[in-house]
Amino acid sequence: MHWFKKGIFYMLSGFWLLSGCDSNDTVAIKGITETNEVEANIEEITLNSFFSFIQDEWTPENIQQIDNAGIKIAEIENDIFFLPYSNEYEPSTFIFYTKTQEELKLFENHEFLGQPLPSNSPEYKIWRKENMGQKILDISIEPHPILGWICQIRLREGE
């Protein structure tokens, strides 16, 4: 009788483990996939908002909104950091910085920077675009002696 109870116990334990693990793994994988899709959508919306602000709504009154969009991008992307408009490295410039140039591909590959093609060399890329206020947006990806690699966005008067 003792062996019979052990056999039933092991058999039921095996069924429980097999049935429990399969459904939990599927749910966990589905949850991870959905989370990744949501994060990708949030990232795209945030990037679109940031570029929309600098293209259409860059005024002294909207600097805080642009700063907030930059902060959200840095929160989503763990390896990218953001310095607001009033930073000490390059005042009146929004700066994203990271350790490697590869991590800034997020900006470089965005449709906003698709046309015109940038002026570039192995060390830097520069895009010049007009915004709604007829000013020039300078967007560059370049090395920085202290911060590593930076993507900086600044507004210039028409040249």
49 vs 149: which has the higher pLDDT: 149
Determine the average pLDDT of the residues in 88-98: 92
Q: What is the mean pLDDT of residues 104-113?
A: 86
27-59: per-residue pLDDT in tens?
444 454 444 454 555 666 778 888 888 888 788
The angle at the Cα of 2, spanning 7 to 10, to the nearest 5 degrees, equals 20
The per-residue pLDDT for 124 is 87
* Torsion of the alpha carbons at 103, 57, 48 and 78, rounded to the nearest 10: 40
Cβ neighbour number for residue 106 with a 10 Å cutoff: 18
Q: How far is CA 119 from the centre of its chain?
A: 23
pLDDT digits (tens, 9 = 90+) for 3-33: 656 566 566 665 555 555 444 444 444 454 4
* Whole-number pLDDT of residue 57: 78
Contacts of 140 (CB under 8 A, 6+ apart): 124, 125, 126, 127, 150, 151, 152
- Which carries the bigger pLDDT value, residue 143 or residue 52? 143
User: CA-CA distance, 30 to 61, in Å (whole number)?
Assistant: 43
Instruction: Name the residue with higher pLDDT: 106 or 57.
Output: 106
Q: By percentage, how much of the chain surpasses pLDDT 70?
A: 69
User: Which of the residue ranges 29-33, 77-81, 147-151 would you say has the lowest mean pLDDT?
Assistant: 29-33
pLDDT at 141: 92
Tell me the C-alpha distance between 126 and 120, whole Å.
Answer: 6
**pTM of the predicted protein model:** 0.70
Query: Percent of the chain at pLDDT above 90?
Result: 24
**Residue 128, token pair as written in the block:** 């010049």
